[in-house]
Every structure is written in structure tokens, then in C-alpha cells.
Amino acid sequence: MGWRKRQTGFVVGAILFVESNLLLAAHFATPINTPTSCPFYGQVSINGVAGQPGDEVAAFDPNGVLCGRFVIHTAGFYGFMEVYGDDITTPTVDEGARQGDTITFRIWDARKGIEYQAVCLGPDSNSWADGWARNVNLTSGEIIYIAGDISGDKNLDIVDLALCLRMALGMEPPVLNRADLDGNDIVDILDVILLLRKITRN
Ligand SMILES: [Ca+2]
Ligand SMILES: [Ca+2]
Ligand SMILES: [Ca+2]
């Protein structure tokens, strides 16, 4: 009886530990730091609610290169976020934006594990210019990605749970970018439990 209780306590503790680490690890990749940058800042909301500490904003150039990332620390605001320019001394590598490029943004809701395309609300334009700060308010638009949505239908449900379980049991090849919820590069029973908790919380 006591042993079983202790075991349960251990499992619950392990899950809470993993979940707290999930909130600490940044979702978006780290951009390459270059000598040129255009700082963006402004308000950020997700479905009408202020972006919360731990949520993230990322900036992309027209080639889809991630060239800026900011982890929100003050509810409702992001920035200054350095959005880096392409380094002309490295012609084979595209690190970021060039003069006049239109920058697009994505928003990551860390608690719900949802990545959104951002809608730019101004007041400034979102064109990149070295050394010029841009005030661009952002709000969430189309959903790009939901952590744990293995079936890809933008819903978290029993179908995803069944797929995750099959991957954890080795009955199906693991799809890491969708099913590895704790980011340890394997799909196992802990990912299934994390997904179950997400589904029951929704
Ligand atoms: Ca370059
Ligand atoms: Ca799904
Ligand atoms: Ca995992």
C-alpha cells in the first residue's frame, strides 16, 4: 500500500518536473546573431488575451529564415526583439533579413502548446531596416501547430492519444516533431501521459 503510494507520488512528481521544464525550454529556435538588426516591439495578444510570461514571439524573413525570437516577460508586451539582418560576409548562409524585407511573425502559447501565425496591427510597417525600431502590435491569427496533434487535424483528441500510444509501444514509427511532447527525442509512455493530461484539460 505504502509502496504503491510512493510509486504514484514518484510518477506524479516526474510528470510535474517534466511539465515545468517544458515551460522553461524555448519553443522557437535561437536566431543567428549578426552585426545588423531591426528591433521590433509592441503589444501581443492571443485570442484577445494578453500574451503571458513564457509565451514567445518569433520573426521570419521572406525566405522563412527565423531571424528574431523573444520570450515574453511582461504580460501583453514583447520587445525589444532584435530581428537580425543577413550577414553579407557569409554569402553561402542566409542568416536573416535584407533592407526592405517584409517580416512575418509567429506567436507561441506556451501553456496550451499552440503556435499561431501572427496578424500585424501596426502602427509601424513591418519592413526591415537596419537600426530602425519598429512598433508593431501583434495578435494571434491562423493556428500553425498544436503540440501533440499527431493526426494533424488541429484538434487534440483520442485519435492523437491512440497514435501516441502506438508510437510509444513501437507499433508505429515515432513522429518526433508531433508526438515527442517532452522533447527528449523519444516517444514513450511519458509523452502519452502528458498528452492525456493536455486532452483532459482542454
Ligand atoms: Ca549571409
Ligand atoms: Ca488531432
Ligand atoms: Ca519524449
Write the pLDDT tens digit of every residue in 65-82. 999 999 999 999 999 999
Q: Give the per-residue pLDDT at 111.
A: 87
Which ligand lies nearest to the CA atom of residue 180 in the structure?
3
Structure confidence at residue 95 as a pLDDT band (50, 70, 90): very high
β-pair type (49-50, 77-84): unpaired
Say which CATH number the domain at 188 has.
Answer: 1.10.1330
Q: Are 60 and 104 in contact (CB under 8 A)?
A: yes
**Share of residues in the chain with pLDDT > 70 (%):** 87
Whether 136 and 56 map to the same domain: the answer is yes
CA distance 38 to 56: 18
Whether 129 and 49 map to the same domain: the answer is yes
Say which CATH number the domain at 118 has.
Answer: 2.60.40
Ligand 3: centre distance to CA 62 (Å): 32
Which ligand lies nearest to the CA atom of residue 154 in the structure?
2
Q: Give the per-residue pLDDT at 52.
A: 97
Ligand 1: centre distance to CA 93 (Å): 4
- Which of 80, 77, 23, 81 is CA-nearest to residue 50? 77
**Torsions phi, psi of 6, nearest 5?**
-65, -40
pTM for the complete prediction?
A: 0.80
2: three-class secondary structure by DSSP:
helix
Which of 129, 146, 163 delimits the end of a domain? 146
Ligand 3: centre distance to CA 144 (Å): 21
Ligand 1: centre distance to CA 31 (Å): 13
**Count H helices, E strands: the chain?**
4, 8
Whether 135 and 202 map to the same domain: the answer is no
Ligand 1: centre distance to CA 125 (Å): 24
pLDDT, tens digit (0-9, with 9 covering 90-100), for 140-185 = 999 998 988 999 998 999 999 999 999 999 999 998 888 998 888 8
Q: Which residues pair with 147 in a beta bridge?
A: none
Q: Give the per-residue pLDDT at 183.
A: 82
DSSP secondary-structure letter at 55? B
Structure confidence at residue 117 as a pLDDT band (50, 70, 90): very high
Q: Give the per-residue pLDDT at 15.
A: 61
CA distance 103 to 128: 7
Q: Give the per-residue pLDDT at 9.
A: 67
Ligand 1: centre distance to CA 68 (Å): 15
Instruction: Give the total number of structural domains in the chain.
Output: 2
Ligand 1: centre distance to CA 122 (Å): 28
Which ligand lies nearest to the CA atom of residue 36 in the structure?
1
Is 31's pLDDT higher than 60?
Answer: yes
Whether 136 and 155 map to the same domain: the answer is no
**Share of residues in the chain with pLDDT > 90 (%):** 74
Ligand 1: centre distance to CA 91 (Å): 5
